[in-house]
Amino acid sequence: MARIFITGSSDGLGQMAAKLLVADGHQIVLHARNKMRAAHAIAQVPGAEAVFAADLSSIAETKALAEDVNASGHFDAVIHNAAVGYQERERQLTVDGLPQVFAVNTLAPYILTALIRRPERLVYLSSSLHQSGDVTLEDLTWEKRRWNGGQAYSDSKLQITLLTFAIARMWPEVMSNCVDPGWVATKMGGAGASDSLYLGPRTQVWLAADPTLSSAPTGGYFYHQKPGNAAKAAADPVLQQRFLAACAEYSGVEII
C-alpha cells in the first residue's frame, strides 16, 4: 500500500485517479483550492485519508500547502494534477501579479516539488499540446507578448515537461515521469473531447503506485501506459536549467 498526495483532486482526472487508488487499497490525501471544494472532494472520494485546501495561484498558499503536506508525514508518491485550462479573453493575474495559468500550471508544481520532502515517485500531468510550447522561455509571464490563452496553456505544459525531465536528471533516486492523459471529457476538456475518459487517469495511477515498476522508469513521457512523443527541447539540460532558474526567481524557492 502506498501513501499518495494528489493536487487538484476535487474533480476531473484528479478525483478519478484518487478513486482508483483508494479502490486499490492505497492511502490517498486530496487537495482542493478552498475549504468548500475540499469538503466536496472528501465527500466524493470515500476512503480518502484527508484533504488539504490551498489556492495554487498564490505563492504563499502553495508554500503553506507544502508545509502542511510535510507535517502530515511521508508520501510514497505525489501526483501533480492541478491545472487551469485555456484563458482566451484576457491575461488573468494572481495576487502575486502573475498570469494564473503560469502560477497554477507551472510555478505551483515547481514550488511543491522543491518544498515537499522527496517521495519515491513524482508524476506530472502534461499534454500533447506541450509540443506547441514556446521553447525560448523568453516571456514566461506574458508581459511582452500579446496574450493568447491557448498558447499560454501549451507553454505551461512544455514547462511542466521540462520540470519532469529536470527532476529525473537531478534526483536519480526519484521516479519522475509525466503523463499525457489525452483530450478527455472533463470539465476542462469539454464535452467534445475525443479520447477515452476511462483511460484518462490510469497512466498516472500506474506510475504512482504500480509495484511492478520498481525503480524504473524515470524521465519518461507516457500516453496510455506507453511511451509518448515528448518535445526534443524538453530533454535539453541547458533549457531545463534556464527554466528552473526562472522559477526560482519568481518563487524565491530553489530546487537543488
Instruction: Kindly list the catalytic residues.
Output: 153, 157
Print burial letters for 179-218: b (CB count within 10 Å at least 16), e (below 16). Answer: bbbbbbbbebbeeeeebebeebbbbbbbbbbeeeeeeeeb
Residue type, 10: S
Detail the DSSP E strand segments found in the chain.
3-6, 27-32, 50-53, 77-80, 121-125, 175-179, 220-223, 226-227
Containing 251, the helix (H) or strand (E) segment is helix 237-251
CB neighbours of residue 99 within 10 Å: 27
Give the CA-trace dihedral at 223, 205, 132, 240, to 10 degrees: -110
In angstroms, rounded to a whole number, what is the distance separating the alpha carbons of residues 144 and 224?
37
